[in-house]
Structure 1
Amino acid sequence: MKVFQAIEQRRAVKHYQVESEMPAEDFNKIMQAAILSPTSYNIQHWRFIRVTDQAQRYQIKEAAWGQEQITDACELLVLCADVNAWNDRPERYVANSPSATQSILLPMMKAFYEGKEQIQRDEAMRSCGIVAQTIMLAAKSLDYDTCPMVGFDTEEVARLIHLPKGHVIAMMIAIGKAKQAAHPRGGQLSLEEVLSENHF
């Protein structure tokens, strides 16, 4: 599937074919695409929890007020981020760069994030937003549907996945084969309404 076709056809699907399964090859292809997503300073904040245990899925479903896509979709990912990734062996993020570039980027990274908790969190969430779109478009290109989700008790899901200190949950993504199509788009704003040039 062409990328523009995937963008046009991607919708938040709520109802999935329970009997459908995703081959390991497809899952790996989606996730290999995901980790190519851009991040500031190449920090790669994202951490993915793939929930395969059905009992745990039902517990998460309860924490998401009964939304059936959590248990019915082939795959469920909890997209998390390490807020402190900028300070966790940062030399890893520039390991393939020339030494001159490393000597510039590492001090810049520290100066940009150190002591700035809001920026650290904002950057982690931005990274999760970008990787989420990569996952959804990669899935669609393989003829899977997705549903990005923020409608759940974050604290309870954090408890269920044993979220480490210094990490945040950005969203969940259900991935599978649609049992029924999404409703028509609710009301798309025109490009003219959202695009300005140089200033508002």
Structure 2
Amino acid sequence: MDIFQAIQQRRAVKHYKVNQNMPTADFTALMDAVLLAPTSYNIQHWRFVRVTDTAQREDLKAAAWGQAQVSDAAELFVLCADVNAWNDRPERYVANSPKETQDVLLPMMYGFYNGKEQIQRDEAMRSCGIAAQTMMLAAKGLGYDSCPMVGFDQAKVAELICLPEGHVIAMMIAIGHAEKAAYPRAGQLPLSDVLVENRF
């Protein structure tokens, strides 16, 4: 599918055909695409919890106030981020770079994030946002629908997935084949309302 078609056709689908699994080849293609999502300093903060257990899905559905897509979609991911990834063996993120580049980037990375908790969290959440959009567009390109979700009890979901210390939950993403089409777009703001040139 053309990338512009995927952007136009991707919608937040709430109702999915049940008992449909994603073939391994599609899952691999999806995740291969997601792992190419850009991150600052190539930190790759994201951590994907793929929920395949039916009982776990039902528990998460309860924590999401009964939203059907949590249990019905072919795939459910809880998209998380390691806020401290910037300081966790950072040499991994530049392993394929020349030594001269590593010698510049590693101290730069440390100086940019060290002691700046808000920037650390903001960066992790930005990375998750980019990964989420990459995942949803890749899913659409493979013929699937998706739904990003923030409507759930964060503390309960964290408990259910045993979220490690220093990690945050960005969203859940359901992926599958639509049983019912998404509602019509509620109304996009005109470009003139959201684009300014040079300054506000």
TM-score by length of 1: 0.99
Q: Which runs of 5+ in 1 are unaligned?
A: none
Q: Distance in 2 between matches of 1:52 and 1:166?
A: 24
SS in 1 for 2:179: coil
Aligned to 1:129: 129
Q: Flag as ranges the 4+ runs of structure 1 deviating above 6 A.
A: none
Equivalent residue runs for 1:158-177 within 5 Å: 158-177=158-177
Identity score, percent: 73
1:18 equivalent in structure 2 = 18
Deviations 1:49-90 (A, max 9, x none): 000000000000000000000000000000000000000000
Partner-residue secondary structure (3-state), 1:179: strand
Residue 175 of structure 2: SS of its match in structure 1?
A: strand
**Aligned counterpart, 1:81:** 81
Residue 192 of structure 1, CA deviation: 1.4
- Aligned alpha-carbon RMSD (Å): 0.5
Aligned residue for 1:142?
142
Question: How many residue pairs are counted as aligned between the two chains?
Answer: 200
Instruction: Give, in whole Å, the separation in 2 of the partners of 1:27 and 1:147.
Output: 16
Distance in 1, matches of 2:57 and 2:21, equals 15
Matched with 1:37 is: 37
**1:181-196 alignment runs, 5 A limit:** 181-196=181-196
**2: CA distance between counterparts of 1:170 and 1:127?**
10
Determine helix, strand or coil for the equivalent of 1:27: helix
TM-score, normalised relative to structure 2: 0.99
Unaligned runs of 5+ residues in structure 2 are none
Residue 101 of structure 1 and its aligned partner are, at CA, apart by 0.4
